[in-house]
Each structure stands twice: as C-alpha cells, then as structure tokens.
Structure 1
C-alpha cells in the first residue's frame, strides 16, 4: 500500500513539474528535459530514410524536426 501511495505522490510531483515547465513557455527546456530523444525515435520508427521528403508540423522547439536520418545533410530553412 505504501508503494502505491509513494508512486502516486511521485507521479503528482512529476506532473506538477511538467505543468510548470509548459506554463513558463520555455519550450526548448521542455523539449530537452522531457523529450530529448523523441526526434531520433520518430525518424527511426517512421522509417524515414535518405531521399524521403517529410513534413515537420508543430514540433515546438524543433528538436524532432531537426533530426535527420544518418548520412542526410540539412537543407532549407
């Protein structure tokens, strides 16, 4: 029982921290603390490879949008 109470308290504390970070509007901080590896995971899981064209929509701090498949150079703005 104590473990579930501790887990619930930890969960509430983490959610409060995340809400505070989002509320500050410091999206690069949110991206670097909450989802630092998301871009690489998205590129890998979506099977993006050299020569593919993809549309980056609403990625916030541009972290996922700046991730490219291995060997791919950045083009464009």
Structure 2
C-alpha cells in the first residue's frame, strides 16, 4: 500500500491510499482504495479486494470504514 499524506497550515491528513497491483513496463499499476474527497481528506474509492481485506482485517482494519462514503472521521 502507498499512503499519501497532505498538509497545510491547518494540519496533515491522509489524502489517498493506493494498492500496488503490478507494473506495465515502467508504469506502476495501482487501485485507489481511498481517494481525495471534496475537502482533500481520503474517502472510499474502489472496493477493497477480498484477499487484501482479509490481510488488513487480521491487523485490525474494520471493513465498515470503506462503507462510509463520507469518510471514517465523520
């Protein structure tokens, strides 16, 4: 996973989370699991693949976070 952090004078926040799925020549292929929302903070993007969800869940990730379209901090 690649986690993008954005910052401003107001603080820092996660703006995107990408899953690296492979490469096409010199281009890295990713899925954007969480994308920037209207305020720049990450909101759910594409569905989390079942195999990745199982690994994340074994480390404490709550899959319901991805169901909240407005973001998990609301």
Whether the TM-score (by the shorter chain) exceeds 0.5 is no
Relative contact order (C-alpha < 8 Å, sep 6+): which is higher?
A: 1
User: What TM-score do you get using the length of structure 2 for normalisation?
Assistant: 0.24
Higher strand share: 2
Structure with max Cα Rg: 1
Which has the larger share of helix? 1
Query: When the two structures are superposed, what TM-score results if normalisation uses the length of structure 1?
Result: 0.24
